């Protein structure tokens, strides 16, 4: 902050005559408000993350407006809804309702400011929210948010001015000013988020289209991605890290575009030469991704994606890295990749028995894939696994079964299968779990698969 105790003759003072009748008290008051506004501008300019931004604006607004609560709703013109995100612990929850509802809806629809001393005396007010939460809304000030092009993109409202006051004309001006600022930063943030969405949806769509060239690989990249993200969540990755892993995972087989289909989809035994050609896809992934511009935090994506066939013992490809030389994401991907490969349906044949699947995973642990990551994988609930495995099936997993699957980890399931295999008796509940799992695992895909 400038040291206002000094005066500098070369800096122009206030334009002559304009502020002459202002008292010191007025000036200090405005100075105080303006500082608060400047602080808000600065704070909200600091993030492009829409969830965080919305919550930050709301918190700052409540504070500066001397209100009890605030909200910011964005207009979804496609669905004619108002929506927002509110913090719910460490995650954010979306709220959505039809755009004409309540006082917020009136402002969204007409674009006019509403300043209501007592909401209960206004017939447009929707008491639903108060009824559900026990809150008592009194004064409401709601203003439209317009973007630079003058389009209405949302509304901001403040509730229950402190000290049981009504919101003043001056409050209206301040809130309008805040809404203008908010509109700019929200729109920047939306542009950024949309750009991110475009990128990841393009990657996912391409990977899906590539996988769909052969029934054996259909849906592979997306499932490997989801298994890998699930493991990473067990390993307590941050949201940012999950985002990066997600992108790398979706791209892991992109190098298959460099492998001729006649070899890639050959039905029958491959000779050594053909096997080498297929293995070259991992290096192609590296070469292709190396040509893509990634920002600093995503620079490792090419190596992450290309290392899904490396092995802990150094016997993998394309680089023959071992242990921690392999990017951690690559070590996670390897688990998802193997698991999906051995659980996928092969040319209308059934899947490998699940007990064998888990034995293969165990056999590969330590030599091929990393033991503690496999353990994290096995900590996942069966519900998570089945939802990924069956994601392209139009027949849903029954919610009753899903509840059941939530109570057992993959590890639990494996133990039950092994006990069954040793002909040890299972309780009725245990047997029920195994049966329901096997039902979904072995059900026919003939009718239930999502067409491309």
Near its own copies in 36-65, by CB under 8 A: 37-38, 41-42, 45-46, 48
Distance CA 425, CA 419 (A): 7
Secondary structure letter of residue 113 according to DSSP: -
What residues from 101 to 130 belong to the interface with its own copies (CB under 8 A)? none
Structure tokens at 379: 């900590």
Q: For its own copies, which residue of 76, 130, 165, 300 counts as binding (CB under 8 A)?
A: 165
66 belongs to the binding site for its own copies (CB under 8 A): yes
17 belongs to the binding site for its own copies (CB under 8 A): no
CA distances from 432 to 383, 385, 401, 417, 426 (A): 14, 17, 10, 12, 9
Q: For its own copies, which residue of 62, 126, 177, 322 counts as binding (CB under 8 A)?
A: 177
185 belongs to the binding site for its own copies (CB under 8 A): yes
Distance CA 419, CA 211 (A): 36
199 belongs to the binding site for its own copies (CB under 8 A): yes
163 belongs to the binding site for its own copies (CB under 8 A): yes
What residues from 132 to 161 belong to the interface with its own copies (CB under 8 A)? 148, 161
Evaluate whether 309 touches 317 at the Cβ level (below 8 Å): yes
Q: For its own copies, which residue of 101, 184, 397, 404 counts as binding (CB under 8 A)?
A: 184
Q: For its own copies, which residue of 52, 138, 298, 419 counts as binding (CB under 8 A)?
A: 298
| Least distance between its own copies and beta carbon 306 (Å) | 14
| Least distance between its own copies and beta carbon 169 (Å) | 7
Secondary structure letter of residue 3 according to DSSP: -
Q: Is the peptide bond before 19 cis (omega within 30 degrees of 0)?
A: no
Evaluate whether 310 touches 319 at the Cβ level (below 8 Å): yes
313 belongs to the binding site for its own copies (CB under 8 A): no
Distance CA 315, CA 309 (A): 9
Evaluate whether 185 touches 53 at the Cβ level (below 8 Å): yes
| Least distance between its own copies and beta carbon 380 (Å) | 28
| Least distance between its own copies and beta carbon 17 (Å) | 12
Instruction: Closer to its own copies by CB, 4 or 428: give it.
Output: 4
Evaluate whether 308 touches 334 at the Cβ level (below 8 Å): yes
Per CB under 8 A, which region of 16-24, 114-122, 132-140, 371-379 contacts its own copies? 16-24
CA angle, residues 323, 325, 331, in degrees to nearest 5: 60
The site string for its own copies over 316-345 (x = CB under 8 A, - otherwise) reads: ------------------------------
CA distances from 10 to 7, 13, 15, 85, 171 (A): 9, 9, 14, 48, 35
Q: Where on the phi/psi map is residue 52: left (φ > 0), alpha (ψ -120 to 50), or beta? A: alpha
Cross-sheet strand order for the sheet of 152-161: 91-98, 81-88, 67-76, 152-161, 140-146, 114-116
Instruction: Closer to its own copies by CB, 100 or 213: give it.
Output: 213
Q: How many Cβ atoms sit within 10 Å of the Cβ of residue 416?
A: 20
Instruction: Closer to its own copies by CB, 48 or 426: give it.
Output: 48
What residues from 235 to 264 belong to the interface with its own copies (CB under 8 A)? 254, 257-258, 260-262
| Least distance between its own copies and beta carbon 25 (Å) | 7
Instruction: Closer to its own copies by CB, 47 or 322: give it.
Output: 47
197 belongs to the binding site for its own copies (CB under 8 A): yes
| Least distance between its own copies and beta carbon 282 (Å) | 15
Instruction: Closer to its own copies by CB, 167 or 437: give it.
Output: 167
Q: For its own copies, which residue of 101, 216, 242, 288 counts as binding (CB under 8 A)?
A: 288
Total residues binding its own copies (CB under 8 A): 89
């Amino acid at each position: 902050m400038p040291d206002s105790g000094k005066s500098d003759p070369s800096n122009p003072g206030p334009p002559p005559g304009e502020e002459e009748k202002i008292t010191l008290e007025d000036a200090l008051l405005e100075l105080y408000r303006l500082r608060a506004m400047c602080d808000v501008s600065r704070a909200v300019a600091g993030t492009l993350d829409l969830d965080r931004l919305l919550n930050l604006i709301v918190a700052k607004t409540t504070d500066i407006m001397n209100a009890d609560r605030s909200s910011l709703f964005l207009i979804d013109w496609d669905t004619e809804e108002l929506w927002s995100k509110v913090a719910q612990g460490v995650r954010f929850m979306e709220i959505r309702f039809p755009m004409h509802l309540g006082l917020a809806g009136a402002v969204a629809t007409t674009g006019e400011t509403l300043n209501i001393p007592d909401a209960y005396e206004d017939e447009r007010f929707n008491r639903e929210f108060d009824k559900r939460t026990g809150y008592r809304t009194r004064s409401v000030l709601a203003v439209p948010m317009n973007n630079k092009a003058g389009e209405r993109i949302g509304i901001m409202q403040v509730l229950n001015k402190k000290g049981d006051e009504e919101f003043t004309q001056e409050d209206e001006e301040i809130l309008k000013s805040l809404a203008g600022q908010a509109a700019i930063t929200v729109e920047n943030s939306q542009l950024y988020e949309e750009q991110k969405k475009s990128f990841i949806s393009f990657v996912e769509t391409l990977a899906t289209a590539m996988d769909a060239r052969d029934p054996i690989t259909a849906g592979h990249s997306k499932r490997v991605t989801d298994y890998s993200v699930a493991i990473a969540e067990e390993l307590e990755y941050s949201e940012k890290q999950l985002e990066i892993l997600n992108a790398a995972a979706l791209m892991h087989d992109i190098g298959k575009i460099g492998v001729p289909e006649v070899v890639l989809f050959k039905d029958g035994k491959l000779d050594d030469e053909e096997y080498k050609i297929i293995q070259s896809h991992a290096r192609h992934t590296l070469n292709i991704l190396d040509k893509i511009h990634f920002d600093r935090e995503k620079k490792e994506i090419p190596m992450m994606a290309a290392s899904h066939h490396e092995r802990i013992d150094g016997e993998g490809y394309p680089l023959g890295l071992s242990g921690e030389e392999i990017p951690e994401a690559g070590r996670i991907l390897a688990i998802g990749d193997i698991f999906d490969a051995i659980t996928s349906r092969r040319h209308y044949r059934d899947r490998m028995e699940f007990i064998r699947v888990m034995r293969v995973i165990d056999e590969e642990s330590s030599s091929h894939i990393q033991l503690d990551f496999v353990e994290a994988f096995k900590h996942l609930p069966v519900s998570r696994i089945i939802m990924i495995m069956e994601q392209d099936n139009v027949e849903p997993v029954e919610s009753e079964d899903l509840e059941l699957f939530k109570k057992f980890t993959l590890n639990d399931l494996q133990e039950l299968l092994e006990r069954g295999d040793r002909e040890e008796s299972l309780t009725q509940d245990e047997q029920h779990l195994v049966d329901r799992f096997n039902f979904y695992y072995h059900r026919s895909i003939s009718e239930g698969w999502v067409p491309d």
